Amino acid sequence: MKKLFERLLVVMIVFTFCGRALAELPSPIFPVGEVQERDLIVESLYRYKVYPYEPIQKIKYIDIEDSKYDTPEQTVFGHFSAMKSGDYDWFLETWTKESRIIMRESDKKRGRSKEFWVKTWDKVLSSREPYITSRIESGDYVFIVYSLKDSNGVVQFEDTLALELAGSFWKISQRLSSDPVGIYWSVPDKRVTQLAR
């Protein structure tokens, strides 16, 4: 049985109300007393479990006819296989329907074509091997941590892919791209402070 780590992540959003007026704000039209500067702290607690793969798993490229979406890991293997083979349509199929819409709109704004992505994937994966290193579960969602290693086995890049159930299939989700667990899961003290304003 894989060793199970339970970790707590507290994302603390700090709302700072400053008495000093910003350039865009008009001065009070009535007399005021001494300025009172205060902080408001709002905390959100995210519970999650980390399952490190022991050993870490090198992604085995598959053919499109062998692709499955029954588990998060199968979806991720298909995701990287689509990039390795330069199959843009297959790549899109690994994402949720809502994510595909977001990605198409983003590419349109940035002038990025199918050819752009195929060339990018070839450049990245021709000299690097992808591995999955951990599985993170939080609520109904799963995050797969992956890394890219060069020919010397040195990690060049590490990130997470967020997945959710779309019907009965696990698909990668843009909706979770800014989820705190996927971004900060490895922060040592498990407390992240962000200045809201």
Q: Is residue 166 part of a domain?
A: yes
Tally of structural domains, the chain: 1
Contact 181, 136 (CB under 8 A): yes
Domain span including residue 126: 49-185
Model confidence over 17-41: pLDDT tens digits? 333 444 588 999 999 999 999 999 8
d(C-alpha 120, C-alpha 185), whole Å:
27
The model's pLDDT over 33-65, given as tens digits with 9 standing for 90+, comes to 999 999 998 888 999 999 999 999 999 999 999
Domain membership of residue 139 (yes or no) is: yes
Return the CATH number at 87: 3.10.450.50
What is the rounded average pLDDT of the residues 8-14? 34
CA angle in degrees (0–180, nearest 5) for 122-111-124 = 15
Tell whether 125 is covered by a domain.
yes
Please indicate, yes or no, if residue 33 is contained in any of the structural domains: no
Question: Are 10 and 191 in contact, with CB atoms under 8 Å apart?
Answer: yes
Q: What is the 3-state secondary structure (H, E, C) of 83-126?
A: HHHCCHHHHHHCECHHHHHHHHHHHHHHCCCHHHHHHHHHHHHC
Asked if residue 39 belongs to a domain, the reply is no
The reported pTM is: 0.80
Establish if 194 belongs to a structural domain. no
d(CA 133, CA 155): 11
Strand partners, 39: 16
